[in-house]
Amino acid sequence: MVYLTSFLLKQYHGGHVVIRLALGGATNRPFYRIVAAYNKRARDGKYIEQLGSYDPLPNIYNEKLVSFNYDRIKYWMGCGAHPTKPVAKLLGLAGFFPLHPMTITEAERQRKAALEDEVKVQNEDQDVKQAEQ
């Protein structure tokens, strides 16, 4: 296997290597491969190496499955590869990076909205029961 040094990576037509999501799967059933690829290539085009996978649709246990090859991600980042924002978010949630403050803010906002919806449903149920009596 040929390993590219960071000097060679920078010489690729003025581009650089990125760690990004490559779309796979079928219609209405997305599946992503986490890959190291040149930034000038197409999203689903040829890539250098597959570093993991991500299934964004929840399974029967309401889990979104993600797998990483941390050793290869460390290698490519050491060679100068830049992760895209979605990959950086996944790596942050996995504990590889520190979490971005907006990730925490978004989670708090969604949690608050879910609680408000739950309270609204409970109030409507109580109103219906009082109206029946």
pTM: 0.68
Taking residues 1-7, what's their average pLDDT? Answer: 55
Share of the chain above pLDDT 90, in %: 32
CA–CA distance, 70 with 10 (Å, rounded to integer): 23
Residue 45 reports pLDDT greater than 90? no
Residue 1 reports pLDDT greater than 70? no
pLDDT single digits (tens) 48-99: 999 999 999 989 998 889 999 999 999 999 988 999 989 988 888 888 888 7
Element (H, E) at 52: strand 49-55
CA–CA distance, 116 with 133 (Å, rounded to integer): 26
Residue 7 reports pLDDT greater than 70? no
Query: Residue 27 corresponds to which tokens in the numbers above?
Result: 């219609």
77 contact partners, CB below 8 Å, separation of at least 6 = 19, 83
Taking residues 36-43, what's their average pLDDT? Answer: 86
Taking residues 20-31, what's their average pLDDT? Answer: 92
Taking residues 41-47, what's their average pLDDT? Answer: 83
